Amino acid sequence: MNLNSRVAVLTRAALLLALALLFQSIRLLFPIPPLASTFLIGSLMNACFLLAAGIVGMGPTLMIVFLVPIVAYFQQVLPLPIFIIPVALGNAIFIGIFLMGRHWKYWVNIVVAAASKAIFMYIAFSWLLNLLEIHVKIATGLLFIMSWPQFITGIIGGALAGIIKKRLRLL
C-alpha cells in the first residue's frame, strides 16, 4: 500500500471514529430515556462499525471499537473501567464475524454477527457481575442492556449500514 492509500485509510478511519464518538455523545446532548438511548445509539454505533469494516478494513475498525468504550467509560456510561474490555471484545466479535462472513448472504451475516455479539456480551457481563459486588439494580440494568438489545441494535445497525452502503455504493 502506497503512502496516499495509507493516508486515505487513516483519514477515513479518523472520520468514522469521529462520527461514532458523535453518535455516542447524543445522550449527553439530548435528554433521551435510557432504553431509547440504548436502541438509538447502539444501532448508530453498529452501523458505524460495519461501515468502517467495509471501508477501512479490520485493523482500523478494531481501533475504533476499542476506543469507543473507553470514551463511554469517561462519559460515565460504563460504571467501571473493567467493563471496557467485554464491550470492546463484543464489538470486535461483531466486526470479525461480519468480515469473515462476507461470502454469506448479507442478512445471514448480520444476524450471525449480531447474535454472536449479544451472546458473548451477556455471558461476559453475567460472569463479571457475579465476580464484582455491584448494586443489584445497576447489575440488573447492565445485564439487560448487554443481552437481547445488543442483537436488536446489531440488526438495525446492519440495516442502516446496508442502506448507506447502497446509497454510497460502498462495501
Q: Which domains does the chain have, with CATH numbers?
A: 3-168 (1.10.1760.20)
Contact criterion met (CB below 8 Å) for 150 and 121: yes
Full-model pTM:
0.92
Residue at grid coordinates 463484543: 90
**Average per-residue pLDDT in the chain?**
93
Cell of 10: 487513516
For residue 127, give Cα distances in angstroms to 83, 124, 160: 11, 5, 32
> Which residue type is seen at 24?
Q
> Which residue type is seen at 114?
A
3 state SS of 65: helix
* Reported confidence tier of residue 170, pLDDT bands at 50, 70, 90: low
Assess whether pLDDT exceeds 90 at residue 92.
yes
**pLDDT digits 0-9 by tens, 6-65:** 899 999 999 999 999 999 999 998 888 988 999 999 999 999 999 999 999 999 999 999
Assess whether pLDDT exceeds 90 at residue 134.
no
